[in-house]
């Protein structure tokens, strides 16, 4: 239908079938953040400028007369208008109808079906060539960052009416496209005087609730956060006829060679990117080429963020597609590297409406693998070449990196090699597992560890005595995550991880260096065995066994976990978290060489009540040494009082 106006005839068109319903989905469902509309319009404008550059390689006259490529944002706060203008390729009448009257050039119904099914919109038609703003199929060398068609409609989230004036480069015609986004649009020829000399001007008549998008503060914030690195300069004109102020210069730090970037520039970029004020401990900047091409710039902070252990905290890697911001929490790195800040920029992901679905792309999986490997390799180099700097990183993020030991099977050995530990041999320093294996005893086939919530407490654990006396190094693990990874990490360089609070210690094969003369075992052993049998019978409801220990050299007793099941610390963690109903019965180990045990072994049947009180007190003593409290504090106090009375009256 054509209607006449005083100046130009206006053609009235309806959108393709189902477009109104699709627009409703776009506005109310697909985009969760209304700010995205400006990113989409800037993306399309940059796309038009890049398309002009590409076409001008074969038709040089197309780019004549307008100077450098640019994007201008003009604000009219009083009139509630926002204008986005570029001097790119522009559109003809047919291209305006095709690009803005249909969705994604692939058939509206097919596009909508795929959108509702949660599939990337770009795949809506595998048999059609996709077209950019200029209407020509894009070439491999054209660095296009958007498709004028899908993202454009996000502007109806904030605008009650949109006018698009466009003039195709190399032509003497300009056209005006107008719509309220409710099912139809009008198009008419424009006077050249009211049209740009080349390119496209989009004017948004903002809704009252969206008038803030005509303010400088809001627009400048969005541009710098989401479009600060598109390859075209962006100017801001604060009000009509005002002088433009440049917001971005069309360059991106990560596109430069490392040799061209100073440490200070990296540091400034990191602080702006992360919102933190420390200096990064490590900078990883590289470009990957091959099946998937991308540039990555990642920073390892020095200071841990306050929400590092927030269970809902996601990574902080930004994702760009051809320098256009997509999301600030892309799944580019595994969760155990969530402290790394940075970005990835690739041309191999589609810039389409389904931003949330981009995480499922196989391209992103290739990028994730590559970036993860490079970050871990950089940490390995830092460990080898700058141990002090690496220990700073480890002190801040070691407990998080260790999550990967049980989450990332593929890189488990690499993460174990990166781990640092307090040990019985480290003094005030830290040791690697390579250090541990190098200094292990001849015939030692295990890496021994003990875990607990407090370093001083586990250093005083009686289970350590036999290992310390024999010079066998033990890892001292104090992070909650340690109990999980240690149980799930089968080996490091053919040595299994073994908790010294679980199962038998098997230390007899490592003789004590100052064993000295043994007492008459033929005489003492039967007496000790008799006491162990008595204790085993008395404590059968509370322990699974009472046995002689080869791990105790100073203390009389200790508790260990059975061979099958969890070690003592992991069992406590699971119980506290409500993940374990009822604990397994521990094993009470007794040091038969301890003077107290030797004296108890010599007590006869006539003092049966004393032996019973002593056996139960020994169990409570073992509980206290294990960081627990007596099972029955009142009974413990009564027994202790009886023993004191006997001792004082003797």
Model confidence pLDDT, tens digit, residues 86-127:
999 999 999 998 888 765 443 334 434 444 555 443 333 333
What pTM, to 2 d.p., does this model score? 0.74
- Binding site membership for ATP: which residues? 40, 44, 86, 91, 106-107, 147-152, 200, 355
Helix, strand, or coil (residue 523): helix
Q: Phi then psi for 557, rounded to 5 degrees?
A: -145, 165
Q: Phi then psi for 161, rounded to 5 degrees?
A: -155, 145
**What pLDDT score was predicted for residue 224?**
86
pLDDT single digits (tens) 286-331: 999 989 999 999 999 999 887 787 766 677 788 888 887 777 778 8
Instruction: Return the half-sphere exposure (C-beta side, CA atoms, 13 A cut-off) of residue 6.
Output: 0
The residues near 618 (Cβ < 8 Å, ≥ 6 apart) are 535, 556, 557, 588, 590
d(CA 532, CA 601): 8
Model confidence at 150: pLDDT above 60: no
Find the mean pLDDT for residues 173-195. 91
Contact 181, 25 (CB under 8 A): no
d(CA 491, CA 312): 31
Give domain limits for the chain. 2-248, 253-389, 406-499, 521-649
The CATH classification number of 521-649 equals 1.20.120.790
**What pLDDT score was predicted for residue 154?**
82
Q: Are strands 587-590 and 545-548 parallel, antiparallel or unpaired?
A: parallel
User: Lowest-pLDDT range, 4-8, 20-24, 330-334?
Assistant: 4-8
CA angle 288, 291, 297 (to 5 degrees): 20
Model confidence at 481: pLDDT above 80: yes
**What pLDDT score was predicted for residue 504?**
86
Question: Percentage of the chain with pLDDT > 70?
Answer: 84
**What pLDDT score was predicted for residue 61?**
82
Identify the helix (H) or strand (E) that includes residue 178: strand 174-179
Model confidence at 650: pLDDT above 70: no
What confidence category does residue 266 fall into, taking pLDDT thresholds of 50, 70 and 90?
very high
pLDDT single digits (tens) 356-410: 667 678 899 999 999 999 999 999 999 999 999 999 999 999 999 999 998 999 9
d(CA 471, CA 199): 78
Model confidence at 140: pLDDT above 90: no
pLDDT single digits (tens) 549-607: 999 999 999 999 998 878 888 888 887 777 777 778 999 999 998 999 988 888 877 78
d(CA 475, CA 500): 10
Model confidence at 239: pLDDT above 60: yes
pLDDT higher at 175 or 6: 175
**What pLDDT score was predicted for residue 274?**
81
**What pLDDT score was predicted for residue 106?**
35
pLDDT single digits (tens) 449-469: 999 888 999 999 999 999 999
Tell me how far the alpha carbon of residue 46 is from its chain's centroid: 30
The CATH classification number of 2-248 equals 3.30.565.10
The rounded mean pLDDT for the chain is 84
What confidence category does residue 10 fall into, taking pLDDT thresholds of 50, 70 and 90?
confident
Instruction: Return the half-sphere exposure (C-beta side, CA atoms, 13 A cut-off) of residue 50.
Output: 24
d(CA 85, CA 504): 76
The CATH classification number of 253-389 equals 3.30.230.80
**What pLDDT score was predicted for residue 135?**
32
Model confidence at 525: pLDDT above 70: no
Contact 51, 43 (CB under 8 A): no
**What pLDDT score was predicted for residue 254?**
93
User: Lowest-pLDDT range, 31-35, 328-332, 508-512?
Assistant: 31-35
d(CA 425, CA 409): 29
What confidence category does residue 133 fall into, taking pLDDT thresholds of 50, 70 and 90?
very low
Find the mean pLDDT for residues 260-264. 91
Model confidence at 139: pLDDT above 50: no
- Fold held by 406-499: Rossmann fold (3.40.50)
- Binding site membership: which residues? 40, 44, 86, 91, 106-107, 147-152, 200, 355
User: Lowest-pLDDT range, 179-183, 287-291, 446-450?
Assistant: 179-183
What confidence category does residue 5 fall into, taking pLDDT thresholds of 50, 70 and 90?
very low
**What pLDDT score was predicted for residue 102?**
65
């Amino acid at each position: 239908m054509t209607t006449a106006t005083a100046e130009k005839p206006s053609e009235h068109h309806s959108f393709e079938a189902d477009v109104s319903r699709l627009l409703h989905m776009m506005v109310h469902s697909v985009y969760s953040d209304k700010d995205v509309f400006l990113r989409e319009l800037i993306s399309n404008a940059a796309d038009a400028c890049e398309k002009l550059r590409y076409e001008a390689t074969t038709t040089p006259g197309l780019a004549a007369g307008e100077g450098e490529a640019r994007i201008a944002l003009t604000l009219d706060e009083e009139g509630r208008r926002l204008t986005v203008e570029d001097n790119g390729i522009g559109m003809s009448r047919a291209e305006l109808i095709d690009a803005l009257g249909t969705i994604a050039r692939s058939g509206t119904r097919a596009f909508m079906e795929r959108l509702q099914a949660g599939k990337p919109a770009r795949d809506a038609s595998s048999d059609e060539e996709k077209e950019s703003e200029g209407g020509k199929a894009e070439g491999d060398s054209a660095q296009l960052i958007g498709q004028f068609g899908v993202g454009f409609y996000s502007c109806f989230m904030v605008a009650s009416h949109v006018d698009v004036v466009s003039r195709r480069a190399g032509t003497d015609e300009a056209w005006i496209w107008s719509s309220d986004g409710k099912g139809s649009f009008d198009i008419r020829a424009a006077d050249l005087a009211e049209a740009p000399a080349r390119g496209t001007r989009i004017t948004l008549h903002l809704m009252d609730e969206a008038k803030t998008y005509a303010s400088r503060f809001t627009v400048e914030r969005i541009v710098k956060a989401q479009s600060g690195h598109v390859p075209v300069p962006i100017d801001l004109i604060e009000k009509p006829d005002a002088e433009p102020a440049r917001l971005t210069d069309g360059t991106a730090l990560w596109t430069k060679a490392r040799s061209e970037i100073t440490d200070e520039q990296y540091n400034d970029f990191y602080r702006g990117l992360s919102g933190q004020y420390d200096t990064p401990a490590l900078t990883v900047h590289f470009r990957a080429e091959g099946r998937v091409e991308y540039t990555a710039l990642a920073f390892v902070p020095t200071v841990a963020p306050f929400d590092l252990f927030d269970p809902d905290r996601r990574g902080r890697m930004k994702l760009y597609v051809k320098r256009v911001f997509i999301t600030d929490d892309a799944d580019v790195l595994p969760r155990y590297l969530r402290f790394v800040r940075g970005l990835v920029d690739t041309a191999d992901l589609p810039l389409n409406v389904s931003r949330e679905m981009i995480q499922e792309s196989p391209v992103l999986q290739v990028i994730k693998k590559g970036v993860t490997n490079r970050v871990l390799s950089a940490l390995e180099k830092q460990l080898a070449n700058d141990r002090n700097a690496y220990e700073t990183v480890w002190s801040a993020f070691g407990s998080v990196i260790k999550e990967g030991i049980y989450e990332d099977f593929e890189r488990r050995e690499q993460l174990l090699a990166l781990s640092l530990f307090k040990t019985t041999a480290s003094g005030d320093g830290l040791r690697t597992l390579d250090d541990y294996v190098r200094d292990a005893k001849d015939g030692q086939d295990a890496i021994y560890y003990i875990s607990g919530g407090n370093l001083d407490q586990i250093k005083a654990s009686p289970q350590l005595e036999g290992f310390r006396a024999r010079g066998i190094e033990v890892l001292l693990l104090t992070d909650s995550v340690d109990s999980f990874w240690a149980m799930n990490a089968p080996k490091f360089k053919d040595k299994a991880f073994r908790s010294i609070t679980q199962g038998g210690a098997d230390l007899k094969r490592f003789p004590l260096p100052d064993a000295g003369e043994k007492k008459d075992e033929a005489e003492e052993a039967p007496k000790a065995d008799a006491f162990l049998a008595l204790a085993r019978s008395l404590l059968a409801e509370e322990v699974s066994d009472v046995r002689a220990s080869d791990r105790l050299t100073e203390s009389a007793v200790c508790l260990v976990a059975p061979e099958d099941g969890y070690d003592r610390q992991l069992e406590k963690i699971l119980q506290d978290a409500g993940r374990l109903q009822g604990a397994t019965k521990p094993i009470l180990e007794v040091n038969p060489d301890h003077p107290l045990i030797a004296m108890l072994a010599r007590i006869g049947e006539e003092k049966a009540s004393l032996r019973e009180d002593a056996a139960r007190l020994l169990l409570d003593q073992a509980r206290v040494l294990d960081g627990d409290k007596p099972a029955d504090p009142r009974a413990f106090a009564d027994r202790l009082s009886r023993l004191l009375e006997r001792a004082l009256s003797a």
